[in-house]
Each structure stands twice: as C-alpha cells, then as structure tokens.
Structure 1
C-alpha cells in the first residue's frame, strides 16, 4: 500500500489537480471517497451539477458573502461529501488556503480532523505564507517539496511547528522526513502527521473576556495569573487575575496541555453576536475575527452564532429566572368583606333573612291580638319594622319600637344574641386581618408573571435571544413585557421603593445565582426569586471554525464533569469571589413567608373599604332623603 494512504484511510479525499504535476493514486481503499477538482477549469467549465449548488449560491448572495468559484466548490465538497483530507499542488496553495478559510465557515458541516497536503516545488514556497493564520492554527499540515534542480528523486517532507508562543512563529516549517521514490522508503520512518497537541509548549490560548461572575471573573491590582493583551503593555490593567467556574476549565486545560492563558478585553463588553455577513460584535465577534481563540461566560448554544462558529460540549445548565417584587399588602375596597368567606357570608344573609321574616310575622301577629283595627299596622309597616330592627341589631344599635307581646320580646332577644355573636366574630376577623398582613399574589411563576403583565428587564438581548423566535403564546406574551436597559438604569429601578419591575438572574446548577452588580442588598430585600425558570439552556464555549484543540477540550470537559469538579468549583468560586450576603438573601427569598415581611404601618389605604362603605351609605341616605322630600312635595301639591 502507498504509505500516504495509511493517513487518509476511511476519509473523504479532495484532490485539486494541476497538470504540471504527474501524480497518480495507487492502492487507495475502496471505502475512501475521492473528490476531484481542477482549479484551472473552473472559469471555463464550472461544476454546476454539484448537489446543492444553486441553493448555496443563493444563500451566499442573500447574506452578501464573498465567494469565488473555488470557494463555492470547496464549500459544497465539505458540506455534501464531508471532505477532511485535502491535497493541493503548486502555486495554487495560497489560493486554496484563502478560499478554504471562507468555505470552512460557510459550510454548516465541520470537521475536527482535517489534514492538508501541499505538493510543490521548492521555489513555489513563499516566505509571506508564514504570516497567514492558516499555517499558524492548523497542526496537520504537510509540505512535500522537490528541488527542481536536483538530479536525485528525493522529496523533502516538512510541516509547521504549530507549538510554542506565537512570537516564535508557529507557522515556521521544519523538515520532518525525506522520501526516496527509487527505494520506496523514508529516511527516518517518522509519522507524517505527528501529534502536536499533547505538549503545546506555551502556545497562547486567548479568551475573549468580560467580567461576569461567577462564570468569568477578572480582577485588577491583585495577584496575576494572566495578561490582558487588549490593553497597553506595562499598564496598570495589563496583569490580571482571572477566575470563574468556566474560566477554571480553560486554566486546567492549559495546565494539562502546557499552554498559556491570556485574555483580550478590547471588544468584550458583552456577549455580542455574529451576523450572516461574517461580521460580529462583542466577545463572539472577537472569536469570528480571530482576535480570540475561545469565548466563555454563560454562552448559550445559540444557533445563529453556531452557523459561523463552533462550540464545545456543554459546560453547565443555566436557568434564566427573575427576581420579582415582593407581594404587596392587600389594602382595597373589599377589605370589609375579607373576614368571612363567601359561604359564610351566604349563611349570614340566610340567617338575617330568617330573622327578618320571623320578626315580620311575629309583629303582624302581635298587631292582630293586641291592637284594634284602627291602630293595626299594614304588612308594609311590618316589613319596615322587621328590616329596620334586623339591620339595627346586626350593627349593634338599639331600636325604638315598643314590643307588646312576650313572643316578640323573646324573638328580639334571640336575634340580639345571634347578631352579637356574628358581629363579635366579624370584628375579631377584621382585627386579625389588620394586625397580620394579608398579602397579594407575587408574580413568582411563569404563569403569574404573564397574568400580572409585570415588566422585566435585563442589560442585553442575549438574555432572551434563545426564545426570541418562539411562536408559543406564553413566550410571546412574556416577551412583550421584556425591556433592555443599561446597568445605570437598572440600578435606578432597583433603588426605587417599591420596586416595580423584575430583574433577570441566572440559576446555576448547584444552587447559586449569577446576579448583576446593579442588584444591591437593599433592592433584594424588596424582591423574591421565582419558583421556576423562564427557560434554561446549556452553556458552551464558542471557538473559531477548525479550532484544532476542540476535540481535546471536549474530552477535558467530559472528564471535568465525571470527576465532580463542576460542583466543587462552583462552590469555591462563589465563596471566594462573590458577595455571599447577596447569595444568601436571594436564596432565602425562595422560602420567604408573609410573616417575614415585618410590620407595616397602617395608613388610609388600609381603611379604603370602610370609607367606601361610609361613602356609599351616605350617598344612599342622601338619595332616599331627596326622594322623600320630593315625594312629600308632590303629595302636598
């Protein structure tokens, strides 16, 4: 078997042919797929029969993405045939590299195991290639060169150094081996694609960093463990101390693979986003522009960003929830009705009705027995006596009627005792309501947040970008009340008394919270945490396409989860770097009862219902009095 085939077995091989090189494939395994492209024929005979050609071209034009014919062919080859090994000849190398960088981003499919073989004459290689980031960032690059002036058939096999600090030019080539075609053997029989990732020899990994505890923490003017390359050298902010639940994953990764962690805060003022036209902002934009190698800090697996970037396996479960205003004390017009439940009020009305009917019948009977026909009262007068007496007894007022019969007196006494018990119970219930606060319903669930139409806010669109495209009615109703403010505005809202909006926070997997700096302890005293999450996502680390360390980084994350360090580090980071008083305050709101709110000074609002009864009574009395006056005037007239 051809020696090179041992490295490209079971992969899709893309060959970019060149007539100046006499190259043939020998003994390639049947299950190795081959895609052939002739760059020189693209302009005259473009491969329009490629599957998905029209759709991909329209997509590129729609998003204003520059892509020549070669770029489009490579994009389709990667996306449709899953090419992972590429063989390029001669001076077309740099043309391929420039197109491949774009194609690797345009294609939705991505590979972690790409290999690149460049076959060229010695004079074809140009020193400015060293400046191309492709040769710095890809470890599996092989240059096969043949000196054209040499009479012996000897091929030099070189590869890029890749490891070491970038100041030492990791794109620089060194001779890996030599191949003698006549003898069909290598000089040193070394691996053509040696592993360069086990020891990175101090190669930098740059984090797009912004301070977002407890995921990422950046401290100045203290002990330092990293450099902020986004600041001027030797400035006060050049040396920083970084920590965090996700930052520790990167730090421990570099401890294992001997790399150096640096951060770049130049544009990382927010999570940011990337756009279809290959531009971006914030931390994600820095990764797309290759100003950073990795982006962490509660980054969710956002699909739109994933289209142009790559991300790791999940780091943590993050639940988006809200701190909402505490339930307010009930002080409304129906306060006089609260001492009794609806069923009890119904029973009281039935009892009063029975009393009224009994008094009417007893009074009418008394009139028949003791009064003459001339002084006998009508049924209308009897009903007035029954209603007035029942109402007076119910509000503990004495009557002015003269009861003659023993039956009416006993009945009045029984009604008085019955009403006395009812009013005593009512007075005790009303006193307890005024003494022990009766609270309104808090918007502490998703359904209640929707029902109350409570405004809730955050400092970035990233808080809701994962649910922004949802068609669910519940989600769309919640998003209608979502607002974005800067930190100063949120601080002002948090200092209001009372607080009138909800504030987004993140619920970490092991009981802690990511809380904005604008939520001071005084504000949290007026807030409670919601019982459930608005939604949840799994955080990831975003990296550029073709990041060669992603496979090793994913395995490191897997081992991190398996060992239980995720829980241990969360507790340690929170205890070391966060305000535990705020954490405990937020946690305590999960079980906060109405009694915990404390005594509240009574005001006129507490007697709104009683005042309303007085006003209604006065209005009704005035209307009745006016009706009596008018009717009297009409009768006299």
Structure 2
C-alpha cells in the first residue's frame, strides 16, 4: 500500500505546503512534501495539528478512520485556522464515511479500498487491487452516492482508467442546493423579488457554478447572534447551526462571529450614521453677540479694562487725588467714547500714545465687528446641531435601531467616546421605533457606497422632515458574505467578489436596486435633509434680523431713564 500512497500523494498533493498524516506507520512515506505526523488516536492533539502549518492535504490510514474524519471536521469549527482547500486521502475502506454528516461539506475525498482478483487461482498476494472511491457531492439528490473512480493493480502498478481522482466538483454542481440565510433588508437583500445588491452577488455565484438557490428568510431574528454552544438566531444562528450555506444582509466584519464563521472579501464599504433631530434656530436677539467668538469677547473685555485703567492712571497722575471719583467717571466716559467711535475732549499731552493706541484698537475692533455682523445678520444660526459622533454624545439624544447588530462593531472599542455611543443606543421593535418618529430620537441608517441609504421601514417621511442627516459617519465598516467555517465555497466567493468589484458593478447594482425597490422620494428626503437649500435671491431685512439691536436700544433707554430718575432724587 505504501507504493500507492506515495504515488497518490506525489501526484495530487504537491501543491500543498505540507500534509497531515494520521497513521501508525501503516506505510512508509518517502515524498518530498513536508508532513505533520499524527497518531490514530480519535482525540486529536490540537496543539500539533492547528499550528498554521498550511497543511491542506490530509491522509488518514487508521482503522478508526471514520472517527478521525468526523473529529477533525468538528475541530475545524473550534479553531481559528481555516482549511478551505482541504483534500482527503483515506486508506481503509470504511464506506460509512460517505454517510456521515460531515461529508456534506467536503468535496475532495478519495477512499482507497483494498480488493483482490479472485479469478487468479494462483494468487499469492502480488495481484492486489485497490479501488478508489468518492462521493458524488453534486446534484439535487444522491449527493452521498459512492462513485468508483479508478482501480490500481499492484502487480504492474498501473491504473485501469487513469482518471483524475480529484476533479473540481465545485465548477459544475449540477443543481446542488445553495441555502441562502437572509432577511428582507433593502437594498442589500430582497428575497421576495430575488433582488438586492448582495443578493445579486449570491445569485451570480449560483448561476456560475450551476447551483439551485433557496432562501432561508428570518425577518424576526434579522442579523441575529451566535451563542457559545454553536446555536443562535437570525442569519448568524442559521449559519452556525449549518441550516444555511451562505449568509447575506449587511453583515460586517464582526470579530466575535469570525470565531464561528468564514468571511469573504468585502463587497462594499458602508457607513453607519443617523438622521438626528433638527437643530433649533437661535433667536434674533442674540445676533449682535455672534459677530465675535466667545474667546474674542473675553479678549476684548480684558482690553477695555486695561484701557480704562490706563486712562484712569493718566488722569490721576495729572490731577489731585481729591478728584478720584471724578477721574473714575471721566475714565469710564472716555473709554466708552473710544470704543463707540465718539469724539473725545482734549487730553493731556503726556498721554497721547495711550489714546492713540486705544483709538487704533477701537477702530480695528469696530471694523471687524461691522464686517462680522454684516456677514451673519441674514444667515440663520442654529443650536443643537448634530453633525458627528461628538455632537451626538453632547446632545444626550438617544439613537437606535431594531437590532444590536448596529453596534456590534463598537463593542471592542475602549475609547470613552464610543463607550458613550454604545450606552446611548436603544434597541426597539419596529412598532416601538415607528412611534418615536414624533420624539427627540435619532434613527440609525446606512450611508451606502453609491450615495443611497439603507432606511429602516419604521422611519416615516414625516419623521425625516423633523430630522437632519449627520454629515459624518458614527463609524464605517466593510460588508461581507458569511459562510460556514472552513467552507470550501469561500475561495470561489472571494474570486467572484473581486471580479465584480473590478467591473464597478456594486455601484451600478446599488442604483438599479434602489430604483426598482426603494421609495426614491424617501431617499431624496434623507439626502436633502443634510443640505441647506441654496438661494441666490436677496433677502429683505425683517424685524427678526434687527431684534438684537432693538433689544440693546430698549435696554439702554431703560438704564438711561433709571439713571435720570436717580439723579432727580431729593438729596
């Protein structure tokens, strides 16, 4: 047997970096391909096998080959190392392997069974015949049917047919079922219409490899989750429990699920953002104070105090100390006159520099103030604007959606900002969220690569009109297709996704799917909510624009009247 074993290994395993051999020295290995030798104990030593050796070739030559095969396939699910290209060569003839559940997920399995030519009545053991078998794998039915591939004769060391024992069964799967775990989520997946940006990728895969797509739709569990005992709900749970072959529906690169499933190459990049409550317009009475920033106002107040102190010092230096109260009043009036660009009386000659610098400062300040006031007088100002994740936190506005999958990408972020974002997230049922259209609440939506949006069905047009699209994303991630862990379909999916991305089809499909299935008025409303409509026409000044000026004027009149009445009081 060792002659045949080495012949098959050198012929069909030379593309692998190394080979795992489960054997108790049943044959003498003499190939040049590196091996990792493992015994025939059904309790496989994971510290030996799963060390990222790159051993995609697996040879089993043990009496308990069924137990080793099933245990190895089971351990693939609990280890991070992937075996998407695994190929089995099994010596022993235990055809129960082709009846095991694990055989459904492996295509390249060859069983070598020792047979004899009983027509040779002088047989002395030299005419041993070895049959090589596999399972059909393809087709709608009879996928476990055992198929004879070839026979090898020890006497002349030749094959009967010289067939390729490891034909690519994945290239033409002859109608084999492809179970797609998903739910209705526009524009990614619309099972009822067999449409969607990601649905079209999977349907193209099924068409290319001649598979029959069937849908496993879970609109209640949606994205779902995987539990530590390999059960779960939604798309993720159905994949973990092997109910589905492939999962689609805006699945991100979630670290937790990478321990349970296979991730393909990304299909598109998407950003998670919000349509948050609209900011409130600031009243016109505060307009006079908006020409300068608060920092500049502080600097200006400090400058006024310095100038007042300087004038007071000069006046006191040139007069007697008995005029202290009068000098204070004069200093106040002179400072006021300087900054209001009023004429000032003759000042002492030794203070010309102080007054000249003060007048220069007041002139520049007045010019800047007039320019700033003119630029903002007719421009609406808002408070409570939510444009990025920091604004969202400061606003204390709750944000949310119908599943915790919206924040799965943030669980492992230890920054204070995103911890607060996660704490402010609210998960509700579609009916509950629909009621929040009239409340101060931010709805999570997705900003797609082509400029469209994934909008929950619970968001109404009236709710959008009361909200504004954030200009920045809360976070972004890549959308992927998920499959069973170490799935043999993953490399094929990767190649297809890369080909589709190179052609630019994702953006084209996004546009087509949105036009066919989405409410474009709703899409337009979301998009326009984040943009202030531009108007080139001139705006007439109204009372609102001068409200602040009138407020200051009235305040001044009131203070003047009070001061005048105070002066008239009897002494």
Do Structure 1 and Structure 2 share a fold, with TM-score over 0.5?
yes
After superposition, the C-alpha distances for 1:66-94 in whole angstroms (9 at most, x for unaligned) are: xxxx3442574133534322223465132
The corresponding residue for 1:157 is 132
Contact kept in structure 2, 1:163 and 1:202, CA below 8 Å: yes
The corresponding residue for 1:110 is 82
CA-atom RMSD in angstroms: 4.6
Distance 1:146 1:456, change over 3 A: same
Matches within 5 A, 1:345-360: none
Separation in structure 2 between the aligned mates of residue 551 and residue 433 of structure 1, nearest angstrom: 59
Separation in structure 2 between the aligned mates of residue 174 and residue 192 of structure 1, nearest angstrom: 11
Corresponding residue to 1:562 among 502, 506, 516: 502
Q: CA deviation at 1:519?
A: 1.5
1:137 aligns to 2:105 (yes or no):
yes
Distance 1:327 1:266, change over 3 A: closer
Matches within 5 A, 1:378-389: none
Report the 3-state secondary structure (helix = DSSP H, G, I; strand = E; otherwise coil) of the residue aligned with 2:68.
Answer: helix
Matches within 5 A, 1:51-200: 70-73=42-45, 76-89=48-61, 92-121=64-93, 124-126=94-96, 130-147=98-115, 150=118, 153-165=128-140, 168-200=141-173
Show structure 1 runs of 4+ deviating over 6 A: 339-347, 378-388, 429-436
After superposition, the C-alpha distances for 1:101-155 in whole angstroms (9 at most, x for unaligned) are: 221011211122111122224xx434xx555332222110111122479576211
Contact kept in structure 1, 2:277 and 2:442, CA below 8 Å: yes
Contact kept in structure 2, 1:75 and 1:104, CA below 8 Å: no
Separation in structure 2 between the aligned mates of residue 287 and residue 314 of structure 1, nearest angstrom: 18
The corresponding residue for 1:412 is none
Corresponding residue to 1:525 among 457, 465, 469: 465
1:466 aligns to 2:409 (yes or no):
yes
Q: CA deviation at 1:175?
A: 0.8
After superposition, the C-alpha distances for 1:162-217 in whole angstroms (9 at most, x for unaligned) are: 1011xx12111111111111110110000111111111100111111101111111
Separation in structure 2 between the aligned mates of residue 180 and residue 267 of structure 1, nearest angstrom: 57
Matches within 5 A, 1:63-462: 70-73=42-45, 76-89=48-61, 92-121=64-93, 124-126=94-96, 130-147=98-115, 150=118, 153-165=128-140, 168-219=141-192, 241-266=193-218, 269-331=221-283, 334=286, 337=289, 437-462=380-405
The corresponding residue for 1:399 is none
Which structure would you say has the larger Rg?
1
Q: CA deviation at 1:452?
A: 3.0
Contact kept in structure 2, 1:208 and 1:268, CA below 8 Å: no
Distance 1:458 1:72, change over 3 A: farther
Contact kept in structure 1, 2:447 and 2:454, CA below 8 Å: yes
Separation in structure 1 between the aligned mates of residue 490 and residue 47 of structure 2, nearest angstrom: 21
After superposition, the C-alpha distances for 1:325-364 in whole angstroms (9 at most, x for unaligned) are: 22211139856755888769979x98xx99xx9xxx9xxx
1:512 aligns to 2:452 (yes or no):
yes
After superposition, the C-alpha distances for 1:601-629 in whole angstroms (9 at most, x for unaligned) are: 999xx99x969x98x979x979x99xx89
Report the 3-state secondary structure (helix = DSSP H, G, I; strand = E; otherwise coil) of the residue aligned with 2:147.
Answer: strand
5+ residue gaps, structure 1: 40-69, 220-240, 362-377, 392-425, 633-637
Distance 1:267 1:29, change over 3 A: farther
Separation in structure 2 between the aligned mates of residue 190 and residue 386 of structure 1, nearest angstrom: 109
After superposition, the C-alpha distances for 1:18-40 in whole angstroms (9 at most, x for unaligned) are: 68xxx3235x333322313132x
Report the 3-state secondary structure (helix = DSSP H, G, I; strand = E; otherwise coil) of the residue aligned with 2:471.
Answer: coil
Distance 1:380 1:4, change over 3 A: closer
Q: CA deviation at 1:567?
A: 1.6
Contact kept in structure 2, 1:339 and 1:430, CA below 8 Å: yes
After superposition, the C-alpha distances for 1:552-582 in whole angstroms (9 at most, x for unaligned) are: 1111111111112112111111111111111
**TM-score, normalised to structure 1's length?**
0.69
The corresponding residue for 1:553 is 493
After superposition, the C-alpha distances for 1:462-512 in whole angstroms (9 at most, x for unaligned) are: 11111221122332233332222222222111233xxx2222111111111
Contact kept in structure 1, 2:134 and 2:147, CA below 8 Å: yes
Contact kept in structure 1, 2:40 and 2:64, CA below 8 Å: no
Separation in structure 1 between the aligned mates of residue 219 and residue 526 of structure 2, nearest angstrom: 32
Separation in structure 2 between the aligned mates of residue 617 and residue 294 of structure 1, nearest angstrom: 76
Distance 1:563 1:385, change over 3 A: closer
Report the 3-state secondary structure (helix = DSSP H, G, I; strand = E; otherwise coil) of the residue aligned with 2:530.
Answer: helix
The corresponding residue for 2:425 is 482
Contact kept in structure 2, 1:75 and 1:103, CA below 8 Å: no
Distance 1:182 1:99, change over 3 A: same
The corresponding residue for 1:396 is none
Distance 1:322 1:381, change over 3 A: same
Distance 1:18 1:432, change over 3 A: closer
Corresponding residue to 1:31 among 33, 50, 65: 33
Q: CA deviation at 1:10?
A: 4.8
Separation in structure 1 between the aligned mates of residue 507 and residue 288 of structure 2, nearest angstrom: 52
The corresponding residue for 2:348 is none
Q: CA deviation at 1:516?
A: 0.8
Contact kept in structure 1, 2:450 and 2:510, CA below 8 Å: yes
Q: CA deviation at 1:520?
A: 1.4
Distance 1:332 1:483, change over 3 A: farther
Separation in structure 2 between the aligned mates of residue 260 and residue 10 of structure 1, nearest angstrom: 31
The corresponding residue for 2:21 is 15
The corresponding residue for 1:61 is none
Report the 3-state secondary structure (helix = DSSP H, G, I; strand = E; otherwise coil) of the residue aligned with 1:562.
Answer: helix
Distance 1:287 1:387, change over 3 A: closer
5+ residue gaps, structure 2: 121-127, 316-322, 337-368
Contact kept in structure 2, 1:325 and 1:528, CA below 8 Å: yes
